Amino acid sequence: MKIRTGFGYDVHQLKEGSEFWLGGLQIEHTKGAVGHSDADVLIHVICDALLGAANMRDIGFHFSDTDPKFKGIDSKILLKEVLALIRNEGWEVGNIDSTICLQQPKINPYIPEMKKCLSNVMDIDQGDLSIKATTTEKLGFVGKEEGVAAFATVLITKN
């Protein structure tokens, strides 16, 4: 069995009045993430980590932010495409560990629904997807509520 790991990191600016999509869910908040797609930072880091582990470049290579067909796209669609790409090469998800860095709103109440949503999209067990949340204690752009960041590591396997 072949085993690989991957890492993803992403940041999106927060803006008043924008929709806030995170972990496949629309979260009620006065600010939302800005991006070419729906700007779901959690899905984007998972995509990058999976693509990196499979040595298939990154999310921007496959889904360019200059391509109008991806403008406003639901990031769950991108995640399904990434899973199809890596599975076409014989890879399967072992597990995913992710962390969302956000000062407000508090994310912990949404985590069970995010896990359910994303595990269904990826067709993996919820137990193979870890989602954690933290603040930056009011430090930096996250602490000043100017942006949201996320990190993910993944393990993929091939028989």
How does pLDDT run across 139-159, given as a tens digit for each residue? Answer: 999 999 999 999 999 999 998
> ∠64-132-73 over CA atoms, to 5°?
25
User: Which residue shows structure tokens 């890879």?
Assistant: 91
Q: Is 44 annotated as a binding residue?
A: yes
Q: Is 146 annotated as a binding residue?
A: no
Q: Is 30 annotated as a binding residue?
A: no
| Lookup: tokens for 138 | 């009011």
| Lookup: tokens for 60 | 């921007």
H/E element holding 140?
Answer: helix 140-143
Q: Is 59 annotated as a binding residue?
A: yes
Structural domains of the chain, with CATH: 2-158 (3.30.1330.50)
H/E element holding 64?
Answer: none
pLDDT tens by residue, the chain, 159 residues: 999 999 999 999 999 999 999 999 999 999 999 999 999 999 999 999 999 999 999 999 999 888 888 888 999 999 999 999 999 999 999 999 999 999 999 999 999 999 999 999 999 999 999 999 999 999 999 999 999 999 999 999 998
> Rounded distance, CA 61 to CA 81, Å?
13
Q: Is 38 annotated as a binding residue?
A: no
